[in-house]
Amino acid sequence: MTDQLSDLLEKIDADRLMRTTGTIAQWERLSGSEDERKAFDFIEEQMQSIGFSCQRYSPTCLVSLPVRASLQIVGQNEEIPCITHSHAASTPEDGIEVELVDLGKGTPSDYARHRPGGKAVLVDGLATPNTVAPAESFRVAGVIHNSGAHLHEMSVSPVWGNPTPSTMHMLPSLPHITVDDSGAKRLRDALSTGTCTVRIHAEVDTRWKKLPVLIADSPNVDEISMHVLLSGHVDSWYYGAMDNGSANASMIETARILSDHPAEMRHGLRLAFWSGHSHARYATSAWYADEFWSFTHHYCLAHVNIDSPGGIGASDLSGASTMAESYPLAREIFNDVAGVELRYDRIGRLGDQSFWGAGIPSFYCSISQQPPEENPTGIGALLGRGGGLGWWWHTPEDTIDKLDPDNLKRDAQVLLATVYRLCTDRRLKYDQEPAAREIRQELESLQEVAGEEFDLSGSIELARILESAANDLYNLEIPDDASDDEFALYNGCVTGVSRILIPINYTVSGEYEHDLAVPASPLPGLQPMKQLPERRNSPSAYHPWITKLRRERNRIDQGLIEATSLIQQTLAVFHMQDDID
C-alpha cells in the first residue's frame, strides 16, 4: 500500500459515517415513497456539497409492495404471525381456505412425489425465486415459507428488472406468505393429527410507478470519460440502517475524500444511487444498464457495488464476491487494508449486478458478514455460505444499533481503497488468465458429463490458448516511464477482454437482455448439457437441445477467439515497440 493511500484511509471518519447513516435511516424508504424521496434529496445535497454534479432520473418501473397478510388454521381462533412478499399474488379479499401439505425443503422431487395441486404447501427456507417455479408448475393454491427464527422480507419474482413481453408470464401468480419456526411448528403439529386446512389472506400492491435514480459525477466525468461506477441502493425494508443506509454513507464518504485529490484521479468516478432494489427486483440499475448501455460498455472500467457494510459482529471478510479477473486486485486490497486473505468467491446473480451483458468487471456486494455458522440463515443461506448479514437483515430490527462504528470504518476503508486504486492506477490490475481458466475448467467439467453426446474438445483447446495468451499479457513488463498511450493500450486490452468474456461466462441472454434473478454457474448457456443423458431417450427433447447447445458453443468459441486475438494484437504492438527501442 502506498503512503498516499494509507493517509487517505485514515481520513475516513467513523463518527461522520454513523451520523450520515443515522440521517438516512430516519426514513422508511419503500421504493417510490415520500420518505425515500427525502433520503434521495439528502444524498444529492451531500454530493453537490463536495463538488459532484448530480442528475436525477425517473424511470417507470413495476413496483411491488407487501401490504398485509394473515394465516389461520381452520378451527383455531389464534392467527399465526406471517408476512407476504413483493411480487407475490394477492388472494381474494376474503382470503382462500385450502388443505395444507408439508413439502419439507420444497424441491421439485418433493412436489412430484406429493402432487399438491390445488392445495397450499409448507416449505422450509426463504421465499426466493427458486421456490416459485415448481409451485407454479404444479398449480398449488399458495405457498407458506418457513424462514427460520425471524420473518425476512423478500421478493419472489425471478424477473430481473422490468418484465418484457417475453418475461411477463414469469411473474408469480400465487400468494406467498412466510412464517417463522414457531409458526411452522404449529402447522406441522396440526398436520400430525390428520388433515389440516388453513385460511390464507395476502394483499400485495403491485403497480407501475416512477422511481428515482441519482447519478453523481466527479468533475472529470464527461460523455467520453473512462470512469469507475460505484453503486448502492437507497430503498429499504423498514429503516434499513445497515441495508442500505451504511452503504450510502460509505459511498458519500468515499466521494468526499477523493474529491480533495483531483490531481491523482486518472479516471472519473460516477456514483449511482438506486431505487427499486428490494421492491422492483433491481429495476433501476437494470434501467440504467439499458439506457446507458453504450456509454457503460465503452467507458466504464469497473462496477463496485456496496451493500450492508458495518454490521455488529461482522468479522468475516473472507467472502466478498468478485469476478476471476477482478479478484487479484481485491485480494491485494483486503490484505493491505484489513489484513485478511480474501478467497475467490464468484460473484452471484444478486445485488444490482445489472452490467454483465455490457461486460463490466465487478467488485463486491457485501464486504463483511457474520462468522460462518453450521446452519446459516438469511442471506447466508441464500448464498450457501457464511453467517449472512445478521438476524435483523430484512426485518424491522435493522436499526442504527445494529452497526459497529469500527466495522463500518473498516468496510468503508476497503471500499475507498478499491475505488482509489481503480481511479488512480496507471495499469489496471486485472488478470484475464484466471477468467480463461475458469471457462476452460467449466468446459472440461461439462465434457465429462456429456461424454460422447457432445464434443467440447475444440472449445477446451481454444480456452487453453487464451489462458496462455492472458498469462503473457499479465506478465508483460511496462516500464514506469512508459507513455500514457502505452498504459491506455494495455488497459484497453484487459477491459476489452472482459467485454468479450463476461457475457459468455455470466449470461444466457447475451449482451442486451437481463437473465433471471436465479443462481447461475460459469458458462450458464451450456449448463443444460447436464441434462443431455436423461433426455437421450426422448428425441423431441434431445435434438432441440443439441441444436441449442451447438449454437451456444459457437458463441463461446467466437468469444475465446476474439479475446485471444485482442491480446495477441496488443502484445505484438508492445513487442514491436521494444524492437524499435
Which pLDDT value is given to residue 575?
86
Q: Which residues pair with 83 in a beta bridge?
A: 178
Banded model confidence at residue 576, pLDDT cuts 50, 70, 90 = confident
Which pLDDT value is given to residue 224?
74
| Dihedral-angle region of residue 231 (phi above 0 means left; psi in -120 to 50 means alpha; beta otherwise) | beta
pLDDT single digits (tens) 304-318: 999 999 999 999 998
Element (H, E) at 54: strand 53-57
pTM: 0.96
pLDDT > 90? residue 384: no
pLDDT > 80? residue 167: yes
For 255, other C-beta atoms within 10 Å of its C-beta total 23
Average pLDDT, the chain: 95
For 34, other C-beta atoms within 10 Å of its C-beta total 9
Nearest alpha carbon to residue 506 among 455, 545, 542, 559: 559
- Name the CATH superfamily, with its identifier, for domain 3-59+211-424: Zn peptidases (3.40.630.10)
Which pLDDT value is given to residue 375?
60
On whether the CB atoms of residues 233 and 366 are closer than 8 A, the answer is: no
Which pLDDT value is given to residue 225?
81
CB proximity list for 325: less than 8 A, separation 6 or greater: 361, 430, 431, 432, 434, 435, 494, 497, 498, 501
CB proximity list for 535: less than 8 A, separation 6 or greater: 541, 542, 545
pLDDT > 60? residue 381: no
Which pLDDT value is given to residue 457?
97
Q: What angle (nearest 5°) sits at the alpha carbon of residue 116, between those of residues 111 and 119?
A: 140
Which pLDDT value is given to residue 345?
95
pLDDT single digits (tens) 177-215: 999 999 999 999 999 999 999 999 999 999 999 999 999
In CATH terms, 63-208 corresponds, of 3.50.30.30, 3.40.50.10470, 3.90.850.10, 3.90.280.10, to 3.50.30.30
Burial environment of residue 313 by CB neighbours within 10 A (0 to 12, 13 to 18, 19 or more)? middle
Element (H, E) at 101: strand 96-102
Whole-number percent of the chain with pLDDT over 70: 97
Which pLDDT value is given to residue 221?
82
Helices (H), 386-431: 405-424
Which pLDDT value is given to residue 379?
55
For 550, other C-beta atoms within 10 Å of its C-beta total 11
Determine the length of the chain: 581
CA 418 to chain CA centroid, nearest Å: 18
CA 117 to each of CA 130, 135, 145, 192: distance values in angstroms, whole numbers, following the listed order: 18, 9, 17, 21
pLDDT > 60? residue 508: yes
For the residues 86-100, what does the mean pLDDT come to? Answer: 97
Which pLDDT value is given to residue 1?
83
Nearest alpha carbon to residue 466 among 398, 533, 562, 331: 562
On whether the CB atoms of residues 283 and 62 are closer than 8 A, the answer is: yes
Would you list the domain boundaries of the chain? Answer: 3-59+211-424, 63-208, 432-580
pLDDT single digits (tens) 387-444: 789 999 999 999 999 999 999 999 999 999 999 999 999 999 999 999 999 999 999 9
Which pLDDT value is given to residue 461?
98
For the residues 275-288, what does the mean pLDDT come to? Answer: 98
SS3 call for 100: strand
Strands of the 96-102 sheet, one edge to the other: 60-73, 197-210, 96-102, 120-124, 142-146, 176-179, 83-84
Q: Which residues pair with 205 in a beta bridge?
A: 65
pLDDT single digits (tens) 39-84: 999 999 999 999 999 999 999 999 999 999 999 999 998 999 999 9
On whether the CB atoms of residues 574 and 483 are closer than 8 A, the answer is: no
Rounded distance between C-alpha atoms, residue 116 and residue 95, angstroms: 19
Which pLDDT value is given to residue 378?
54
